[in-house]
Structure 1
Amino acid sequence: MDQTALMLLLCLCSSDSVRLVPGTNRCSGRLEVKTDQSWSSVCEKDFDLQDAQVVCREIGCGPPSVLQGALYGEAEAPVGSREFLCEGSESALLNCSSRKSSGRNSCSPGQAVGLTCSDNIRLVGEASRCAGRLEMFHQEEWRPVTLWNPYWDMNSVAAVCAALDCGSAVSARKSYEASKRAVWSIRSDCFQSGSALKNCLPDDKTSDQSLEIICSDSVRLVPGTNRCSGRLEVKTNQSWSSVCEKDFDLQDAQVVCREIGCGPPSVLQGALYGEAEAPVGSREFLCEGSESALLNCSSRKSSGRNSCSPGQAVGLTCSDQHNIRLVGEASRCAGRLEMFHQEEWRPVYVWDDNLNMNSVPAVCAELDCGSAVSARKTMEASGRPVWLIWSECFQSGSALKNCLPDDGTSHQSREIICSDSVRLVSGTNRCSGRLEVKTNQSWSSVCEKDFDLQDAQVVCREIGCGPPSVLQGALYGEAEAPVGSREFLCEGSESALLNCSSRKSSGRNSCSPGQAVGLTCSDNIRLVGEASRCAGRLEMFHQEEWRPVYVWDPYLNMNSGPAVCAELDCGSAVSARYSFEASERPVWRIWSDCFQSGSALKNCLPDDKTSDQSLEIICSGLLVEPLIFLSSSTDGVSTGRKQGSELLIGSEFSIMCSIRPQYAGGSFQLIFSTSNYTQNQTLPAVNHSALFLFAAAGHAHQGTYRCLYHVYVFSHNFWSMSQPLNLTVSDKLMESIRRSSASAHLTALIIRLVVVLLGMLGMLGSVLLLNYKARRNQKSGPENIMMNVLDEGSRAEGGLEEEAAV
C-alpha cells in the first residue's frame, strides 16, 4: 500500500461521515456527508466558512482556502437537504447544529459544495511564504521536518516549491539547533513529487536538525531538462502566465537566472520547451539587468499582445554554475574533487564510502571532460572541513549537480582523473563505446578510415583501460556528434591521442553514416600463473600497474568466483581460495561487494596496500576448444577436411581429434550421433591428439561427429567439446567419377584415330607425287632424272624439317 492509499485509509477510519471526492489530493474535492448509511452532497447555500473549517480539521488538513460550488464537477451523489450551523471549533461536521434547508428547492445542478483545504506543509521564518524552515501539519500540530535518511537534492526542493505554488527551487540547506525538539521525520522519497510530500506519513521524533528552503516568489521555469531551463512563467494575482518573447530581452533573462540561483542566460528562444499551457501575459518587462527579481523591474502593457502567436512563449536556458571542480593538477580534468556549497569550496567526502568507476564518469561528464581514467582516496594528516555527500549523488551528472551535502570534517578526500580530450560513449562499460575527440571545446566522432590499431592503442592507454580488442565502425550506434575530418597517425606509444601527428582526412567526403569508430578496450582484470587464462591468481590493472587482488573483508565464498569467470567469459566458477606468500608485497585491496557483478568488479576502485594473501580462482572454461579433422583416401589421393564433408562409399577414412597443448594426458571421446541413436569411442590423448580409424565407408557412417576432450586437473574433471562435423556417404559420387573417366578415355581414343588417319593421308599423297615425277623424268634422260630425284629429296627433307618445327 502506498502513502496516498494509506493516508486515505486513515482519513476514512478517523472520519466516518465526511469525505472529499474526487479532488487533486486528499485535501480537496466535492464534499459528501454520510447520513443513514448513504452519502449525499451538500448545497453551497447550506454551507459556509465555519462549516468548512470543521470539515478541514476533521479530515486532518489545513484551514480552507477555496470554497466554491461545482469546483470539482457535478454531484453524482444526491444533494442533501440539511443546512449546517457550525461555530468553527467543532471536531466533526455532524457535531454541529443543523436544520432543514430552506433553499432545497433552489439548489441547482452545479451548486454542490467544492472544498479545498490548505496544504499541510509550509515555510516559516522569512519575510516570504516561499522561503524558510520547512514545517508539516500532522496530528493537529505544526513541527519542523527532518529526514529519516539523509539523501536529498535540489529535485527534492523543487517538489516543496511546487507543492506550495511557489516558483523555482533556489537553494536549500540543513540547519541545526542548540538542543533537540519535537520534529516530524520523513523519508527523502516523500519529495519525489508535491503530491507525495503532502500525503507523506511522518514519524514522531526529536532532533536538532531541520530543513531550510528558498523558492523564488514569482518566477519559474517549466518543464525543462533541469531546474535552470524551461518555459518561463510569471505569477501575478495568484495565477501563472507565460511571457511573449517579444516582451522579453537579455536583460530580463539575466534577472530571472539570478533570481532562481542559476548562471547567466545561454539560450533565449520562443517555444524552446513546448507550447505554453498557462495563458500568455500582456506585460512587457523593462529590466536593466541588475535587479534581484523580475517583478522588481519596470514594466508596461505589451504593445505586441495581439501579435503573440502560439509557439512564441519565452523558453529560457540559464547556464549551469558548476558546483564541483578538480584541483591540484595541471589539467582541469584531474585532481581533488571539491564542491561549492553555501558560498564555500570544500573537498568532498563520500558518506557511505561506496564509490567506484561507475560513479566517476558523472564527475567527468559534468565537467565536460572525457572518459573516467582512475580515482582513489587520499588521506590527510588531520581532519578538515568537508562536504559530506551520499554515493547516490554520483548516479548521473544531474544528481551530482543537484546534490545537497552535509557539513562535516574528515581526513579523507577523493582524487579523480578524467581524460582531457577523448571519451567513449554509449558503450556497455567505461572501456567501450563510440569514440569522440574534443577539439576547440566541441566533441566530434572519428571516421574509421582515419583510425587504425596504433591510434586505438593510444586511446585505450589514455583512458586507463587494457589494449584494444575490437575496432569497428558503428559498433555502438550512429554518431550523434559530427564526424571530424582529421586522420590520426599515431605510432602507438604516445600517452594521448592529441599528442599524435595528424593530417586533414583524405577520405572526409566518403565517410558514410555508420562508419564512426566504435572501440572496445580489453579488461582490467586477469587470472595468471596457470596454463589457461581461465585459472590462476586474480590480478587487477589500476594506476598503470598489475597487482594481485586482496579482498578487504574476509567473507569470501563461491558467490565471489562467478563474477570473475563471467567477466572473463570463462564459464562458471569451479573453486576460489586464498593463497599465501612468504612475504608481503603490493596488492590492490577491494571490498567483497565488488564481486556482486562483473560490471561492479571492473569498475571497483581499490586501495594501495601490502599483503601476503591473494585470491586464486578456477573457472569451468579453462580448456580451449578441440579441433576435429576428416581424412579419406580416393584414387591414392589423401584429403583433409574440417566441418562437413562427403565420402565415397567403400573408401577408407579417419577422424582426428586434437587440442592445443595445455595440460598433459587426458582422453578424447568421439561422439557419433544420428537421428536414431548415439554411440561413442574413447582413446587416450597422445601428444594432445587421437586418431580414430574406419574401414570401408558405408551409409551407416553418415551423421554428426564431435570430439570431447576430458582431463583431470586442479582436483576436478574438466571437458571441452569441438564444433560438429557433418559426414555424408554417397555411391552416386563414384558413378559420376567412373563416367567422367570413361568419357576421358573415349575422347583420347578419338584424338589418336584422327591423328593416325591424317598421317596415312599424308604418306599416300607423297607416294603419288613421286610416281608422277618419275614418269615425267623418263622423257628427259638419265641425268635429269638423277638431278630431279636429288632435288625432290632435298625438298622433302626441308619439308620434314619445317613440319617438325611446326
Structure 2
Amino acid sequence: MVLSDCCSTLTFSVIPSSGAQAEGKHMPTESVRLVGGDSRCAGILELKHKGDWKHVLGFEWTLKKAAFVCRELDCGSALSTRQIHESPGIPVLRIKFDCLQSGFTLEKCIRGFYSASSSLYLTCSDSVRLLNGTGLCSGRLEVRSNQSSQWWSSVCKADFDLQDAEVVCRELGCGARSALQGALYGEVEDPVWSKEFQCGGNESALLDCRISDSARTTCSPDKAVGLTCSEPDEFRLVGGDRRCAGRLELKHEEDWRPVDPSDWTLKEAAVVCRKLGCGAAVYLELKREYLGRLAWLIECVQSGSALKECAESSYTSLPSSKLTCSDSVRLLNGTGLCSGRLEVRSNQSNQWWSSVCEADFDLQDAEVVCRELGCGAPSALQGALYGEVEDPVWSKEFQCGGNESALLDCRISDSARTTCSPDKAVGLTCSEPHEIKLVEGGSRCAGRLELKHEEDWRPLFGSDWTLKEAALVCKELDCGSAVSIKKERKQFSKPVWKISSDCVQSGLLLKGCIQSTYSTSTWNLICSDLLLQPIIAVSSVDGVSKAYEQGLLLMGRVLRGFSFTISCSIQPQYPGGSFQLNFISSFFNAEHNYTQPAVNHSAYFLFPVAEPAHQINYTCVYQVYVFSHTFSSESHPLSVSVSDPPVFPLRVVFQPVTLLLLSAALYFCCKARGQTSNRQEDTELVNYPLGVGAVEREGDVQGDHLLSSGIIS
C-alpha cells in the first residue's frame, strides 16, 4: 500500500508503539471519541472532520480492526462492536482499514462519506489490556487504576495468580486461561503496579477484586505477567441428523448466529470440522433462506487467527450453510483434502482418533474411504507416505468389499493387532473427484464451463481467470489449446461454483478450493480442437472397393481402370464450411489441395479412372468460421491401393458396365449444367500426370470440375 493513499498531506501522525503507550506517553486524540456509552471507552464512534463530529459507518468492523481505535483512544482491549441503526440517508464516514492497520490515525484514514443506515458502537475495556501478543487474547498484562489516570502499569508475576488470570480473561471476552508465565510477551516496563491482586475467580473485572495493602517496591524485568487466554468462540451444527452435520452457527460475544459462508471453500469448512472434533469436511452447501436474524461473517478461518478477531456482524442474513463433516475417518498432513495419513474413530462419543496400520488396510478399504470423503478413486496407498504411526493404533483389520458407503460399515476382523512399525501408517491419496464440461457451444470443446462437484453440475466462475486458466481446462478436456475466454452474464436459479486462478494453476480444480456462491457471471470458453474429426472414405462404381482400419490408418482398395470417389464428411456442428482433399503426387513429390464447399456437411471428389499413381495417402481437412475464428480439423489418413481387375471373362463383363455407367453419369452432368440444383456435384479429378510430360496442377480449385490439364488419365 502506498502511504500517500492513506493521508491527504505529507504530515501525518502514527500511533505510538506499545512500548510508548506503556510509558504513558500516548495521549488520547482530540479528533476521536465514543459517545452515548456508560464510560469514556464505550459508545458510538465519532470522528471530527472539518470541524464537525461525524458518525463512522458500522459495516465491516471486526475486533481486530476496532483494537486500533481503542488504542488511539488510550483505552484497553476491544471488547465488542455492533451496528446502531440510523435514520436513512444520513452521511457517515467510511474508513480505509488497510490504512488504519498500517498504523495511521483514524483522521488520516477517511475514505469519504457514505449514505447508510448504521453506525459503529464500540466497547473497549477501561482498566486492563494485553500488549505484544499473538492476538487479542494474549500479551503482556497492563492495568490502569482509574479512567482519569493516563498511566498504564505492568504487573509483577508475584502479585498475580491463576484466579486473577481467570478474571482478566473473562473481562476481555476471551476463553479460559491457558498460559501464565513471566516475560512471555516482554519484560517489565515502568511504571509497575504496586499492589497484589487477590481475586476469588468469579469477579467480572480485575479491579473488582480485593487488593492487598502492602506495596511492592521491586520487580525483576523477567517477571512481567504474560498471559494467554483460550479462544472464546464456539461452533455448532444444528438441524442435521447427527452431531457432525447441519447448519453452521457461531457463538461470538455471547450471541449464537448463523455463519455467512459466502466466501468459504471446503478448506475453511475443514478448520471448523476440526474445531468440532469431527473428521474431514465432506460437503458445504450454500442456501438462500431468510433466518430473521443477523449472521456472523468470518474472514480469517484459514489464517490461524482467533475467530474473535475477525468475526463481523453481517446483515446478509439470506445465505446460510449446511456443513457435513465425516464422523469416523479423516486424512491428516496431506497436500489437500483428499490425501494424508488415515485416522479413524470408532464412535462419536470417543474423542480418540487412531492411526491405521498398513497390514490391516487394502485397496478395497481405500476405495471406501475415498468415497466416504467425497473424493475420487484411490491413486496411491503407501505406508508412512504422510507421516509415521502415532498412538493410539487401530487394533483390528478392515475387510471391506469395496462398495460400502463408510469404512465402519465394513466387516472387521476379530483378531487384535498388538504391534505396528512406525513406517507402516496408512498414507492414502485419492484422486480429485471433479468432472468438467463445456455446454451450449455446439461442441464439447466450446461453450459455458460447468463443473460437477459434490455430485452437482453447476456453472463454474472465477473472477480473475485468463487464457492461462482456460488453457488448463482445454488440456483437461483434451481439446487442444485455449482460443478465447469470455465472461457472460446469465441468471441462474441456484448458486454457481467459484474457484480462484491460483487454485487452478496449482492443480486443476482442487476440491478444497471450490466454493458455492451466487453470481450472474460465468465463463464461455473456446478451445482449439473445437471440431469433430472428419470422416474420409473411398467408394467405387464397380462396387468392389473395400475400406478397413489398420491402427490410425484407413486402408482402401480400388480396381485399376475403374472410377472411384473419395468422400469427406463431418457430423453436424456448425453450418457451412469447406472440405479440402490433400494428397501428395508420387511422381513430383508435390502436395495437392482441392477444396469444395460443404453441402449437408459433406463433399465428394471423383477420380474417373484409377491408375497406379493414385496409390497414395489422402486426408480431408474441414474448415469453418465460427466465434470470430477459423477452425480446422483433419481426418485420419486414407491409404488407397490400386489392384488389377479380375482376368477375362469378368473383365469383359465389367468394362461394358463401367462404360455404360460413365456414359449415364456424363449425360446427367451435362443435363444439370444449365439448371440450379440443391445437390452438390462431385469434383472430378481428370488426367492425373503419369510421367508423360504433362504439367501438374496445384492449389485450391473450387467449382464443379477440375478439367483436363494433365491431372488424371
Q: TM-score, normalised by structure 1?
A: 0.53
C-alpha separation in 1, matches of 2:236 and 2:93 = 36
Of residues 478, 485, 489, the one that matches 2:397 is: 489
Deviations 1:526-557 (A, max 9, x none): 3699xxxx9899885544x4x65555899999
Structure 2 contact 461–499 (Cα < 8 Å) conserved: no
Q: Comparing both structures, which one devotes a greater share of its residues to helix? A: 1
User: 1:169-184 counterparts in 2 under 5 A?
Assistant: 169-184=78-93
What residue in structure 1 maps to residue 326 of structure 2? 419
What residue in structure 2 maps to residue 250 of structure 1? 162
Question: Gaps (5+ residues) in structure 1?
Answer: 13-19, 30-64, 72-114, 579-586, 609-613, 623-660, 668-709, 720-806
Structure 1 contact 362–397 (Cα < 8 Å) conserved: no
What residue in structure 2 maps to residue 338 of structure 1? 249
Q: Identity over the aligned pairs, expressed in percent? A: 42
Of residues 192, 196, 208, the one that matches 1:284 is: 196
What residue in structure 1 maps to residue 9 of structure 2? 9
C-alpha separation in 2, matches of 1:571 and 1:277 = 67
Q: 1:137 to 1:4 in 2, by over 3 A?
A: farther
What residue in structure 1 maps to residue 337 of structure 2? 430
What residue in structure 2 maps to residue 384 of structure 1? 291
User: 1:110-509 counterparts in 2 under 5 A?
Assistant: 118=29, 120-146=31-57, 150-195=59-104, 197=106, 199-236=108-145, 237-265=149-177, 267-271=178-182, 273-278=184-189, 281-300=193-212, 311-340=222-251, 343-350=254-261, 353-380=262-289, 383-388=290-295, 390=297, 392=299, 394-396=301-303, 398=305, 400-406=307-313, 408=315, 410=317, 412-437=319-344, 440-441=350-351, 446=356, 448=358, 451-473=361-383, 475-476=385-386, 478=387, 482-487=390-395, 489-490=397-398, 491=400, 492-497=402-407, 501=412, 505-508=417-420
C-alpha separation in 1, matches of 2:29 and 2:620 = 77
Matched residue type, 2:93 = W
Structure having greater relative contact order (Cα 8 Å, sep ≥ 6): 2
C-alpha separation in 2, matches of 1:254 and 1:662 = 82
Matched residue type, 2:367 = Q
Please identify the structure whose Cα radius of gyration is greater.
1
DSSP 3-state at the match of 1:457? helix
Structure 2 contact 465–500 (Cα < 8 Å) conserved: no
What's the CA shift for 1:171? 1.0
C-alpha separation in 2, matches of 1:535 and 1:188 = 44
What's the CA shift for 1:160? 1.9
C-alpha separation in 2, matches of 1:269 and 1:438 = 33
What's the CA shift for 1:431? 1.7
Matched residue type, 2:553 = G
Structure 1 contact 248–285 (Cα < 8 Å) conserved: yes
What residue in structure 2 maps to residue 789 of structure 1? none
C-alpha separation in 2, matches of 1:423 and 1:398 = 23
Structure 2 contact 298–307 (Cα < 8 Å) conserved: no
Cα RMSD of the aligned pairs, angstroms, is: 5.1
C-alpha separation in 2, matches of 1:177 and 1:25 = 33
Matched residue type, 1:221 = L
What's the CA shift for 1:305? 7.3
DSSP 3-state at the match of 1:124? strand
What's the CA shift for 1:372? 1.2
DSSP 3-state at the match of 1:146? coil
Q: 1:488 to 1:283 in 2, by over 3 A?
A: farther
Q: 1:549 to 1:257 in 2, by over 3 A?
A: closer
Structure 2 contact 499–515 (Cα < 8 Å) conserved: no
Q: 1:287 to 1:358 in 2, by over 3 A?
A: same
Structure 1 contact 472–518 (Cα < 8 Å) conserved: yes
C-alpha separation in 2, matches of 1:152 and 1:449 = 53
Structure 1 contact 666–712 (Cα < 8 Å) conserved: no
Structure 1 contact 348–386 (Cα < 8 Å) conserved: no
What's the CA shift for 1:522? 0.7
Q: 1:204 to 1:349 in 2, by over 3 A?
A: closer
DSSP 3-state at the match of 1:151? coil
Structure 1 contact 560–592 (Cα < 8 Å) conserved: no
Matched residue type, 1:140 = G
Q: 1:248 to 1:421 in 2, by over 3 A?
A: farther
C-alpha separation in 2, matches of 1:662 and 1:378 = 55
Structure 2 contact 142–154 (Cα < 8 Å) conserved: yes
User: 1:507-518 counterparts in 2 under 5 A?
Assistant: 507-508=419-420, 510-511=421-422, 516-518=425-427
What's the CA shift for 1:259? 0.8
C-alpha separation in 1, matches of 2:195 and 2:474 = 67
What residue in structure 1 maps to residue 553 of structure 2? 665
What's the CA shift for 1:416? 0.8
Structure 1 contact 552–589 (Cα < 8 Å) conserved: no
Structure 2 contact 34–46 (Cα < 8 Å) conserved: yes
Structure 1 contact 472–519 (Cα < 8 Å) conserved: yes
Deviations 1:70-107 (A, max 9, x none): x9xxxxxxxxxxxxxxxxxxxxxxxxxxxxxxxxxxxx
Aligned residues: 517
Matched residue type, 2:371 = R
What's the CA shift for 1:415? 0.6
User: 1:704-719 counterparts in 2 under 5 A?
Assistant: 716=633
What's the CA shift for 1:711? 12
Deviations 1:586-621 (A, max 9, x none): x9973576778526844435699xxxxx9997889x
Matched residue type, 1:262 = C
C-alpha separation in 1, matches of 2:139 and 2:620 = 66
C-alpha separation in 2, matches of 1:244 and 1:400 = 30
Question: Gaps (5+ residues) in structure 2?
Answer: 439-443, 487-492, 519-523, 533-548, 556-618, 623-630, 637-713
What's the CA shift for 1:401? 4.5
Matched residue type, 1:360 = A
Structure 2 contact 75–127 (Cα < 8 Å) conserved: yes
What's the CA shift for 1:569? 9.7
Deviations 1:42-79 (A, max 9, x none): xxxxxxxxxxxxxxxxxxxxxxx9xx9xx9xxxxxxxx
User: 1:54-73 counterparts in 2 under 5 A?
Assistant: none
Q: 1:232 to 1:24 in 2, by over 3 A?
A: closer
Q: 1:118 to 1:517 in 2, by over 3 A?
A: same
User: 1:650-661 counterparts in 2 under 5 A?
Assistant: none
Q: 1:446 to 1:489 in 2, by over 3 A?
A: closer
C-alpha separation in 2, matches of 1:662 and 1:295 = 92
Q: 1:523 to 1:388 in 2, by over 3 A?
A: same
DSSP 3-state at the match of 2:233? coil
What's the CA shift for 1:129? 1.9
What residue in structure 2 maps to residue 39 of structure 1? none
C-alpha separation in 2, matches of 1:132 and 1:717 = 74
What's the CA shift for 1:282? 3.8
C-alpha separation in 1, matches of 2:341 and 2:480 = 30
Matched residue type, 2:496 = I
What's the CA shift for 1:390? 5.0
Structure 2 contact 170–204 (Cα < 8 Å) conserved: yes
Structure 2 contact 437–477 (Cα < 8 Å) conserved: no
Structure 1 contact 159–193 (Cα < 8 Å) conserved: no
Deviations 1:768-790 (A, max 9, x none): xxxxxxxxxxxxxxxxxxxxxxx
Q: Which is further off, 281-290 or 292-301? A: 281-290
Structure 1 contact 257–264 (Cα < 8 Å) conserved: yes
Q: 1:187 to 1:369 in 2, by over 3 A?
A: farther
